[in-house]
Structure 1
Amino acid sequence: MARANILPTGVECPYGPEELIVSKTNLKGRITYANDVFLRLARYSAAEVIGAPHNLIRHPDMPRSIFKLLWESIQAKKEIFAYVLNMAKNGDHYWVFAHVTPTLDSKRNVTGFHSNRRKPDPVQIDRVKPLYAQILAEEKRHDSRKDGMLRGVECLSDVLKSKGVDYDEFVFSL
C-alpha cells in the first residue's frame, strides 16, 4: 500500500453522530477487526486493513506525541480518551473522539487493543486544533523524529501543567 504517497485533500468525510467506528488490533498495532463504518470512512476494504498497521489512517497533521501517550496508557492496562484526526485512503479526513482500551485475558495480560470512536462536537475540535498545531510544530522543529516526538510530549506536558490538568481532565474539559 502506497500510504506515503497519500496527500491530504482538505475534504472532511461526513458521518453521523450516531455512528460508531470500531477497530481492534493485536499487540503490535496491526488491525484484526474493523467494522463497516471504519471501512467506509477510511475508504479501505477489509482485505486491505486486516493485518495492516493501524497507523494506516494516521493524518500527517496529527501529533505523534498524542499516539505516544495513547500507547503508553494502553500498554499500562489503562483506557484513554483522545481526539484524533484520521486520513482516508483518498486523502480525505475525519476527526474522532476515541476511547481506546487494552483487551485483557483471564490473567489480566494484554492480548490486544480495542477502540470505539464517535464524531466529536465541532466546538471540541476547534479547541483541540491549536494545541495539536503547537505540538506538531514542536515535533517538526527537530531533525530526529524521535527527538521531535519527545519534545512534543514535553510541549504537551508543559501546556497541561500550565492549565493545572492532566490529559484526561483536559480532554473532558473541551
Structure 2
Amino acid sequence: MRRPEPIARERFLKEDEILVSKTDRRGKITYGNERFIEISGYSEEELLGAPHSIIRHPDMPKVVFKILWDGIQKGNEINAYVKNLAKDGSFYWVFASVTPSFDPKSNAIVGYFSVRRAPESPKLEKVLPLYDSLLKAEQRGGVAASEAILDEMLKKEGVSYDEFIHSV
C-alpha cells in the first residue's frame, strides 16, 4: 500500500476518546477499535494485517520508535507522544501507552496492545522542540545521531525516557 503524502491538516481526538489497537509480535495490526479505524481513514480491511507503521508520520523521529520497540520487547510498558499519518495525508497527535501481551501459559510476548488518547496541549508543546531537534539530527546523521542527542538530554535531566515523558 502506498503511503500518503502528508498535508497540513490536523485531526483532533476529543478528550474522552480512546484509540485502541493490537498487533502481533512483528507489529502487524490484529485489531483496531472503531475510533482508531475512523481517525486513521483506513478501512478495517486495510488495517488488519498491515504494519502499524502504516500510520507513522515522517515528522516523527525514528529514535522514538526505537525506544518504544526496545522497551516493549523487554516486556515493559512504554509511553510516547506520537504524530500519526491518516490515509488522506492529514495528521493527528496522540499520547500512546504501549504494552506487551503475554501468553498466559508460557509468559512469552505474543503481541502488543496500544491505548492512545488526546495529548495535553501544554505537554505536547514541550515535546515538539525536542522532536524537531531529534528529526534534524536524524536527517544529518541517522538514528544514532538523534539517539545521542536524546541520551545526552536525558542524562542531563537525570531521568529515563519514560520518566521524561511523564514529567513534561
Q: TM-score band, normalised by the shorter chain?
A: over 0.9
CA-based RMSD of the aligned residues comes to 0.8
1:173 and 2:160 equivalent?
no
1:140 and 2:139 equivalent?
yes
Q: Distance in 1 between matches of 2:28 and 2:144?
A: 24
Counterpart of 1:165, as a letter, is V
Structure 2 gaps of 5+ residues are: none
For residues 114-162 of structure 1, the C-alpha deviation after alignment (integer angstroms, 9 at most, x for no partner) is 00000011111110000001111110003xxxxx112211211111111
Counterpart of 1:157, as a letter, is D
1:19 and 2:34 equivalent?
no
Counterpart in the other structure of 1:145: none
Q: Distance in 2 between matches of 1:79 and 1:169?
A: 12
Q: Distance in 2 between matches of 1:8 and 1:122?
A: 21
Counterpart in the other structure of 1:33: 31
TM-score by length of 1: 0.94
Which of the residues 53, 57, 61 maps onto 1:59?
57
Aligned length: 167
Deviation, structure 1 residue 14: 2.3
Counterpart in the other structure of 1:116: 115
1:156 and 2:150 equivalent?
yes
4+ residue runs of structure 1 moved beyond 6 angstroms? none
Percent identity, aligned pairs only, is 46
DSSP 3-state at the match of 2:96:
strand
